[in-house]
C-alpha cells in the first residue's frame, strides 16, 4: 500500500493526536509521595525518622498531639537516610504505648553500639515528636 506524503503524515499523526486527546491533563498521575520526616528529641539529643506511609504520618501526628502511642519503635539500619548527624536510621517505624526496656535509650547509645543496640530495635520511651517536616 502506497501512501502520499499527506497520507503518511496523517497515518503517523492520527495515533499521536488520539493519545494526546486522551491525556487532556485533567487526570494526570502524580509521582510517588516523598513522605515526611519527624524530628524527635530524647534526653537532649535529636534524631529523625522517615514517615513513608499515611499510617506512619498519622501515628507521628497523634504522638505529637499527646496521643497514648507516643514511643517510636523501629528497626535500626546502618546508613544515614534522613537521620542527619548519625550513622544509622530507623525503618519499619511504628508508634507504641509500651515497649520492652532493651530497646530504650538515646540516639548516642545507638550510635555507639550500632545495629546491635536493643536487639536491633530502637524504642526510646521518653521520645517526643518536636515537629514533622516535608521530606526534601
Transcribe 72-111 into DSSP letters.
Answer: EEEEEEES-TT-TTSSEEEEEEEEES---GGG---HHHHH
Instruction: Report how far residue 73's alpha carbon sits from residue 126's, in angstroms, rounded to the nearest whole number.
Output: 12
Instruction: Report how far residue 103's alpha carbon sits from residue 119's, in angstroms, rounded to the nearest whole number.
Output: 7
Model pLDDT for residues 61-106, shown as the tens digit of each residue: 999 999 999 999 999 999 999 999 999 999 999 999 999 999 999 9
* pLDDT bucket at 34, cuts 50 / 70 / 90: low
Cell numbers given for 133: 517536616
Amino acid at each position: 500500500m502506497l501512501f502520499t506524503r499527506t497520507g503518511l503524515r496523517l497515518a503517523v499523526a492520527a495515533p499521536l493526536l488520539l493519545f494526546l486527546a486522551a491525556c487532556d491533563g485533567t487526570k494526570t498521575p502524580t509521582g510517588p509521595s516523598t513522605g515526611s520526616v519527624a524530628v524527635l528529641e530524647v534526653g537532649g539529643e535529636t534524631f529523625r525518622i522517615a514517615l513513608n506511609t499515611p499510617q506512619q504520618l498519622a501515628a507521628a501526628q497523634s504522638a505529637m498531639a499527646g496521643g497514648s502511642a507516643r514511643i517510636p519503635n523501629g528497626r535500626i539500619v546502618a546508613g544515614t537516610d534522613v537521620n542527619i548527624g548519625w550513622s544509622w536510621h530507623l525503618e519499619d517505624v511504628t508508634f507504641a504505648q509500651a515497649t520492652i526496656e532493651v530497646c530504650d535509650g538515646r540516639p548516642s547509645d545507638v550510635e555507639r553500639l550500632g545495629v546491635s543496640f536493643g536487639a536491633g530495635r530502637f524504642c526510646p520511651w521518653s521520645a517526643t515528636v518536636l515537629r514533622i517536616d516535608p521530606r526534601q
